Amino acid sequence: MWLEHIAEIEPYKPGKPISEVERELGIKGAVKLASNENPISPSPKAVQAILEAVRDINRYPDGSGFYLKKKLSQHLGIGEDFIILGNGSNEIINMIGVAFLSDGDEAIFADPSFDIYRIVTRMSNARGVVVPTRSWKHDLPAMAGKVTDRTRVIFICNPNNPTGTIVTRDEVEEFMEAIPPGILVVFDEAYWEYAPRHLMPDVIKYIMEGRDVIALRTFSKIYGLAGLRIGYGMARPQIIEYLERVRPPFNVSSLAQAAAMAALDDEEHVRRTIEANEEGKRYLYEELGKLGLGYVPTYANFILVDVGRDSREVADMLLKEGVIVRPMKGKISNYIRVTIGLRHENEAFISAIRKVISL
């Protein structure tokens, strides 16, 4: 009964929850810098909205996401029919795999990049065409050069997880000129809000021009709603309608919809999050520099750090110090990815890594 291409998939490994690490080590106050979550809190307005919406959870959620799409439409300046909602943007990546990839098709993505592209490609028994990053960035000319008549999807993670690099407006412009119609270009913009607006490509422009483009954003990162699972995609209506065929009904909970609407209005919370991230970034750059550890300058809320030896070992040692980070594999197995946290969390990481590298 097993499908070979499914059995071969190496499952996504989530980081351990804080409570489990604390229980295993018999400690309190463990610090989780492993999943690029908002370290401050969810938006207080979102929390309030959830408390109000909770009274109605005997009812199914609004399966069309009517009010949230309306709000997003105003926020983004695009029509409601250009938007699809997902149980996390991850679910939309899944829908893309189901709807656009099948046996023998090709999907192009970078390495290192978000692991889910590889998984979703294999789920559809399609072939992943992996293009190494160049100076830690998506090598867009090389990716364009890999297009064949089997190419259906190209994933561009911008800013890229785990490197934190971006491809700029001009670079993307040149890339888009080289990509023929009939190939869906997916811009995964999970960290979009952290990156400087003027450098980032205007993906909505491509959508309005009728290009075969979808942009994915999420409430899991800057908006601090990772635990609720909600994200969205933007594309021209024909692509949205097509994806709607594979969207599970009621995929986004009523609490998630209510919280997302409130979070969109909470500009203060977003601003505080960006400020804390910038401050944490400066601190970590300085301290990593003092420790002589190399790192990749980031446009997101995490930093890829060169620990100079097997990152699995280093991550385990950090875990014993109560700091959870993400070890990298493959070509970058000497790197850990560290989420930029609150001041005391960043300090805990620096003091733990100082201890670990001196051992």
Ligand X SMILES: *Cc1c(COP(=O)(O)O)cnc(C)c1O
To ligand X, the closest distance from the beta carbon of 161 in angstroms equals: 4
Residue 357, token pair as written in the block:
């590298």
To ligand X, the closest distance from the beta carbon of 284 in angstroms equals: 19
DSSP-derived letter for residue 79 is -
To ligand X, the closest distance from the beta carbon of 114 in angstroms equals: 4
To ligand X, the closest distance from the beta carbon of 218 in angstroms equals: 3
Q: Select 224 or 231, whichever has its Cβ closest to ligand X.
A: 231
Q: Select 152 or 229, whichever has its Cβ closest to ligand X.
A: 229
Taking the CA of residue 117 as centre, how many other CA atoms within 13 Å lie in the half-sphere pointing to its CB? 25
Q: Select 15 or 322, whichever has its Cβ closest to ligand X.
A: 15
Residues sharing a CB contact under 8 Å with residue 343, sequence separation 6 or more, in sequence order:
279, 280, 283
Rg (CA), the chain: 20
To ligand X, the closest distance from the beta carbon of 91 in angstroms equals: 7
Which neighbouring-strand residues pair with 217?
A: 232
Distance CA 222, CA 270 (A): 7
Type of residue found at 306:
D
Which neighbouring-strand residues pair with 106?
A: 127, 151
Q: Select 114 or 299, whichever has its Cβ closest to ligand X.
A: 114
- From residue 53, give the alpha-carbon distance in Å to each of 50, 66, 259: 5, 15, 9
Q: Select 91 or 321, whichever has its Cβ closest to ligand X.
A: 91
To ligand X, the closest distance from the beta carbon of 320 in angstroms equals: 26
Type of residue found at 60:
Y
Distance CA 269, CA 255 (A): 19
The contact set with ligand X (CB under 6 A) reads 36, 88-90, 114, 157, 161, 188, 190, 218, 220-221, 226, 231
To ligand X, the closest distance from the beta carbon of 229 in angstroms equals: 6
Q: Residue 213: left (phi > 0), alpha (psi -120 to 50), or beta?
A: beta
Distance CA 275, CA 167 (A): 23
How are beta strands 213-218 and 231-234 bridged, if at all? antiparallel
Distance CA 211, CA 214 (A): 9
Q: Select 215 or 319, whichever has its Cβ closest to ligand X.
A: 215
Q: Select 301 or 350, whichever has its Cβ closest to ligand X.
A: 301
Q: Select 190 or 284, whichever has its Cβ closest to ligand X.
A: 190
To ligand X, the closest distance from the beta carbon of 162 in angstroms equals: 8
Shortest-Cβ-distance residue relative to ligand X: 88
